[in-house]
């Protein structure tokens, strides 16, 4: 059986939250005022070093080139599609799962004859990778986070990206941050958290396209679930 063809049986999010988590502002404030000092894991440091070299070479050869970060890229379908859509950009897909990163994406193809070469997929933990990208000041134009794990139980707020200790660094990356989820409340919480750092943007429905950006998007839409997008822009 091809595991990549959406089966349309994806369950809707079930949560014990009635609305935005009551501790959200407090948790974000805590992370904004207390630096995240956990040591980096060696494998992520090494992966970052390799990517940093690619970024350095890319910027030397393409001084105004754009860098697109595809965080939580899973099997990298979105990374490849973004690379195809932005042939002059360097697209970097990051996921902590070696299994997903190394899996072939079946049931999806780029335009006939097109071989995107302008992307890399890297196995790394974003809790570390984000801090390294921020410290290296990569000029990221667009930062995608597509269908992150929702952690819908109230007690797991701090496992959601907006409740995590790396929130200040992750939101400092990219002129634009594009986040998609099938759980509207996840995006509403992220939107509220982002206000604390003066990042603003709207939530809209993701239209059903011929080619979904990711396998999770395809699966949710095939199950009749609405997908949502939050687009945050940094004011220059």
Ligand X SMILES: C[S@@+](CC[C@H](N)C(=O)[O-])C[C@H]1O[C@@H](n2cnc3c(N)ncnc32)[C@H](O)[C@@H]1O
- Tokens read off for 78: 């979105």
Q: Which of 21, 100, 131, 143 is the binder for ligand X (CB under 6 A)?
A: 100
Q: Which stretch binds ligand X (CB under 6 A): 3-11, 66-74, 83-91, 114-122?
A: 66-74
Instruction: Rule CB under 6 A: say whether 147 interacts with ligand X.
Output: yes
Separation between Cα atoms, residue 8 and residue 225, nearest integer Å: 9
Q: Which of 46, 57, 109, 149 is the binder for ligand X (CB under 6 A)?
A: 149
- Tokens read off for 23: 């501790």
Instruction: Rule CB under 6 A: say whether 28 interacts with ligand X.
Output: no
Instruction: Rule CB under 6 A: say whether 163 interacts with ligand X.
Output: no
Instruction: Return the residue nearest ligand X (CB atom).
Output: 74
User: Please, what is the minimum distance in Å from the beta carbon of residue 54 to ligand X?
Assistant: 18
Residues 6+ apart with CB under 8 A from 26: none
- Tokens read off for 165: 């200790």
Residue among 169 and 214 whose Cβ is closer to ligand X? 214
> Could you tell me which residues are beta bridge partners of residue 68?
91, 142
Provide the 10 A C-beta neighbour count for residue 38. Answer: 10
Separation between Cα atoms, residue 236 and residue 234, nearest integer Å: 6
Residue ranges in contact with ligand X by CB under 6 A = 72-74, 94-97, 100, 125-127, 146-149, 214-217
């Amino acid at each position: 059986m091809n595991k990549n063809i959406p089966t349309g049986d994806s369950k809707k999010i079930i949560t014990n939250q009635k609305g935005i988590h009551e501790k959200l502002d407090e948790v974000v404030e805590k992370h904004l005022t207390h630096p995240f000092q956990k040591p980096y894991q060696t494998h992520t440091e090494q992966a970052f070093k390799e990517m940093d070299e690619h970024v350095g070479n890319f910027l030397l050869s393409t001084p105004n080139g754009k860098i697109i970060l595809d965080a939580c890229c899973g099997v990298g379908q979105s990374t490849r599609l973004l690379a195809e859509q932005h042939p002059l950009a360097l697209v970097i897909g990051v996921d902590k799962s070696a299994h997903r990163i190394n899996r072939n994406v079946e049931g999806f193809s780029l335009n006939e004859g097109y071989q995107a070469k302008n992307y890399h997929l890297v196995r790394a933990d974003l809790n570390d990778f984000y801090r390294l990208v921020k410290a290296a000041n990569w000029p990221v134009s667009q930062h995608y986070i597509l269908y992150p794990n929702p952690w819908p139980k109230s007690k797991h707020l701090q496992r959601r990206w907006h409740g995590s200790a790396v929130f200040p660094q992750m939101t400092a990356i990219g002129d634009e941050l594009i986040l998609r989820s099938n759980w509207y409340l996840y995006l509403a919480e992220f939107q509220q958290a982002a206000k604390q750092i003066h990042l603003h943007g709207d939530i809209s429905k993701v239209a059903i396209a011929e080619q979904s950006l990711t396998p999770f998007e395809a699966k949710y839409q095939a199950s009749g679930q609405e997908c949502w997008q939050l687009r945050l822009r940094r004011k220059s």
